[in-house]
């Protein structure tokens, strides 16, 4: 497997290209678009706005229509091998059980886009209010719509959808605990590690949907390999196959014991120590009895 990955990622670097997924034709200059069409064969689409309170029309323009624009570009590529779309584990968070497939919503994709493009702000606000009764935010909803676009419009070339949860520090590569930002739980973990945060208010059995960044990258690379292996199949059938991968740890920590750990990908985690799990998730959430003082004040979460 390692040799296959090495062959995939050895590419000739042509330089950076200025673009903006919010703009028509991705904001690419004609010269840059021609260069991409001639020389690119594998596309990773990871551009996204992750502002949860983004107005619906802004989120749809970037996350949904932007994805459509990238797919349109892929259809022009002369030597397309695969298209890898990085989605999110939370685009169907309103469901109690989620499989590795594309889920539609009660709102028609074309209807939502037309309203966001053509209607006034009041009409868009009414639609957003209705959507947020089911979906937690405009981010997850717009990513759900983007998943549908990938499923419906990537029939002519191999593609894969990778749905990571909250991405945290690395477990192994490039080195243990590597991270390049202090967003979300990483910031909380930093404050715990520095001793600034002694107690966190949290639910006792909260599940931590966190995943190491190196596992996410490995999953994306596996998506490329799967797409390459399906290239012959795509040439013989009416449409190419599409792979979908959830990429997350689901960990419940209580009383300093890891009580439940699952991985939706078939990767053996049996050799990981509890300390490693704490490190990879970048946040220690030890539930303690609220009636007694914690003996270890380094990292503690008080259960509701």
Residue 260 is encoded by which pair of tokens?
Answer: 């439940």
pLDDT, position 287:
26
CA distances from 226 to 67, 150, 207 (A): 21, 17, 30
Query: For 202-241, what is each residue's pLDDT tens digit?
Result: 777 777 788 889 999 998 888 887 766 665 444 444 455 6
Low-confidence residues of the chain: pLDDT under 50:
1-10, 232-238, 251-304
CA distances from 104 to 141, 211, 216, 229, 299 (A): 10, 26, 25, 28, 41
Q: How many CB atoms lie within 10 A of CB 136?
A: 12
Selection from 38, 49, 30 nearest residue 14 by Cα: 38
Selection from 111, 109, 79, 85 nearest residue 11 by Cα: 79
pLDDT, position 205:
76
Query: For 76-124, what is each residue's pLDDT tens digit?
Result: 999 888 899 999 988 888 888 888 888 888 899 999 999 999 999 999 9
pLDDT, position 190:
82
pLDDT, position 36:
92
Selection from 171, 194, 200 nearest residue 278 by Cα: 171
Residue 129 is encoded by which pair of tokens?
Answer: 């209010």
Structure pTM? 0.74
């Amino acid at each position: 497997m390692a040799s296959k990955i090495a062959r995939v990622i050895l590419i000739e670097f042509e330089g950076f290209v200025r673009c903006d997924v919010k703009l028509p034709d991705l904001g690419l200059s004609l010269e840059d678009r021609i260069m991409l069409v001639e020389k690119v064969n594998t596309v990773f689409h990871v551009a996204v706005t992750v502002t949860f309170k983004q107005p619906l029309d802004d989120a749809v323009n970037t996350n949904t229509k932007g994805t459509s624009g990238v797919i349109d570009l892929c259809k022009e590529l002369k030597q397309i091998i695969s298209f890898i779309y990085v989605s999110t584990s939370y685009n169907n968070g309103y469901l109690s059980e989620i499989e590795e497939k594309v889920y539609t919503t009660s709102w028609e994709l074309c209807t939502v886009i037309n309203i966001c493009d053509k209607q006034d702000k009041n009409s868009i606000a009414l639609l957003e209010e209705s959507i947020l009764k089911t979906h937690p935010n405009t981010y997850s909803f717009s990513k759900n719509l983007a998943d549908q676009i990938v499923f419906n419009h990537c029939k002519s070339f191999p593609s894969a959808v990778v749905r990571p949860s909250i991405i945290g520090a690395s477990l192994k590569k490039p080195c243990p605990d590597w991270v390049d930002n202090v967003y979300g739980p990483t910031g909380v973990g930093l404050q715990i590690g520095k001793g600034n945060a002694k107690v966190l208010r949290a639910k006792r059995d909260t599940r931590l949907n966190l995943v190491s960044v190196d596992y996410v990258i490995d999953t994306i690379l596996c998506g490329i390999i799967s797409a390459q292996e399906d290239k012959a199949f795509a040439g013989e059938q009416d449409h190419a196959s599409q792979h979908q991968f959830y990429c997350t740890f689901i960990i419940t920590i209580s009383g300093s014991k890891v009580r439940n750990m699952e991985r939706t990908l078939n990767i053996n985690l049996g050799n990981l120590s509890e300390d490693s799990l704490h490190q990879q998730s970048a946040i220690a959430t030890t539930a303690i009895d609220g009636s007694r003082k914690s003996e270890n004040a380094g990292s503690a979460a008080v259960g509701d």
